[in-house]
Amino acid sequence: MNKLKKNLIVAAVLLAGFAAALGSYLLLAPDDKGGSGALDALPAADAKHVRDSSHRLTAPKKSELTVVEFLDFECEACGAYYPVVEKLREEYGDRVTFVARYFPMPGHRNGELSARTAEAAARQGKFEEMYNKLFTTQKEWGESQDWKQDVFRGYAKDLGLNMRKFDTALADPDLAGRVQSDQRDGLALGVQGTPTFFLDGERISNPGSYEEFRALIEDRLSD
């Protein structure tokens, strides 16, 4: 756990520096040819932390708390928090709703593509499986300037997806719009970097360890 804590602290420092450098901005969403287009934020009053279409990683019969993460599958800090979130899901999945929302960041060549890949898998009922696959393989494809669509198609095959349906979904403008809707909510809610966590709608500073994150959840559950 000491190694994990060190990784999280390093990731948090990097994230803080990145977010500070970004400041206020309009998020640029790369297209499938590597171009980009400006993405306008929603009015804050229209933003939601969770929508009916949001991907819930747990669905307790009686949810006592909702943890929302705006994430980028290519983000190293998100990759560092992934095992923490997984451990928390295992421990609190029967009491806490964990929600994953897309927020691919500018500068990540495959951030938006990986989000569309997860959403294309979701259309075949395999969001969680692709979510896990993308994070557990992040070191193999992340931080690359090469287009990784063939790699992601390989993951889809590994998960047993119908490839004709997967390819059709990946190219569907409505699917790209689904990713952008998460980004717009994030921008309106003040998200500037990833990961950004909200506990019952309140944004928190990224915990430096599993123990710190667990303590925040325990504190909320005890209220």
Give me the helices (H) in 162-209, please.
Answer: 163-170, 173-188
Strands 196-199 vs 202-204: parallel, antiparallel or unpaired: antiparallel
Backbone angles phi, psi at 2, to 5 degrees: -60, -40
Tens-digit pLDDT profile for residues 155-165: 999 999 999 99
Percent helix, strand and coil across the chain, each rounded to 5?
50, 15, 35
Which domains, and CATH codes, for the chain?
A: 2-32+47-222 (3.40.30.10)
pTM: 0.86
Q: How many CA atoms lie within 13 A of 118 on its CB side?
A: 27
- E-strand stretches of the chain: 27-30, 36-39, 55-56, 65-71, 96-102, 196-199, 202-204
Query: Tens digits of per-residue pLDDT, 42-81?
Result: 777 789 999 999 999 999 999 999 999 999 999 999 999 9
Q: Which H/E stretch holds residue 222?
A: helix 210-222
25 versus 215: the higher-pLDDT residue is 215
Of residues 31 and 217, the one with the higher pLDDT is 217
Q: Residues 105-127: what's their mean pLDDT?
A: 96
Contact at 8 Å (CB) between 39 and 180? yes
Q: Which neighbouring-strand residues pair with 204?
A: 197
Q: Which residue has the higher pLDDT, 17 or 84?
A: 84
